[in-house]
Amino acid sequence: MTKLSVNINKIATLRNSRGGDVPNVVEFAKDVQRFGAEGVTIHPRPDERHIRYQDARDLKPEVYTEYNIEGNPIESFMNLVLEVKPTQVTLVPDAVDAITSNAGWDTIKHKDFLVDVIKEFQNNGIRTSIFVDPILEQIEGAKATGTDRIELYTEAFAHQYSLGIKDDIAPYIESSKLANSLGLGINAGHDLSLDNIQFFKENIPGLLEVSIGHALIAESLYLGIENVIQMYLHKLK
C-alpha cells in the first residue's frame, strides 16, 4: 500500500494572496485527512511566501496521519522541525529563491553535511528522507548518509510521460530496486498527477509514499468546481 500525502502549500498561497485566513490551512489539512489522505505535507520556505513557520506549529496537533515537513536544512528550518517534531522530515536542496524544487541532493558531495543533519533529526525521533535524482550512485550515496528513506524526484518522468514517452521510467525502476536492496524506504514526488500516478506506482517496487500538491489541487478545481457552482445556483433560487 502506497500512502498519499497531500501537500497543502497551494492552499497557503491562495490564503496569502488576500492577506486573511481563507482558506484556512489547518481546516484544509483536517479535511483532506477526513477525506482519506494518509498524510499532510508542507514545505515552508524562508520567505514564507506560502506555508508559514507558524502554520507548521498550528498543524502539529491536528495532523493525526503522517506529518511530513520538507525543506532545505538551513538553521531556521532545522530549529522549526526540531520544535514541531513531525513524523518525517524530507531534506530538499532548493535555493532560497527557488520557485519550486528542481534537483535532488548530490549525496556524495554533501555526505558529511547530510550525515550530521540526519543524525540530529533521528536523535530526536524524526524519520528522515532525502530528495534524490534517479541515479544509482546517488542512491548509494544516500545510503551512506544514514537516511531512513529517499524521495525520488519525479519531474523528469512526469514530463516524458506527458509526451507519451514511458521509457523514462527505467532509471526510477533501477533506482528503486537498488534502494530496496540497501534497505532504504522509497517515497516519490513532484509533478505526479492523476494522469501518471498509476503507471508510476505499478512500476516502482516498494513505493511507500507519494507527496502530491500542485497537481492534486489543480485537478480538484476542475473535478470539484461543478459541485460548488450547483450549490451556489441552488442557494440563489
The binding site comprises 7, 18, 45, 50, 100, 191, 213-214
Question: Is position 43 annotated as part of the catalytic site?
Answer: yes
The count of residues in the chain is 237
Question: Is position 70 annotated as part of the catalytic site?
Answer: yes
Taking residue 230's Cβ as centre, other Cβ atoms within 10 Å add up to: 10
Strands, E, within 110-228: which ranges? 127-132, 149-153, 185-189, 207-212
Residue 48 to residue 21: CA distance in whole angstroms: 15
Binding residues for 1-deoxy-D-xylulose 5-phosphate: 45, 50, 100
172: Cα separation from own chain's centroid: 17
Q: Which of 43, 66, 151, 209 is catalytic?
A: 43
Q: Which of 66, 151, 190, 209 is catalytic?
A: 190
**Grid coordinates representing 177?**
530496486
Q: Residue 99: which of 214, 203, 2 has the closest Cα?
A: 214
Residue 59 and residue 67 in contact, taking contact as beta carbons nearer than 8 Å: yes
Binding residues for 3-amino-2-oxopropyl phosphate: 7, 18, 191, 213-214
- In what helix (H) or strand (E) does residue 8 lie, and over which residues does it extend? none
Question: Is position 27 annotated as part of the catalytic site?
Answer: no
Q: Which of 48, 62, 66, 70 is catalytic?
A: 70
Tell me which residues are annotated as active site: 43, 70, 190
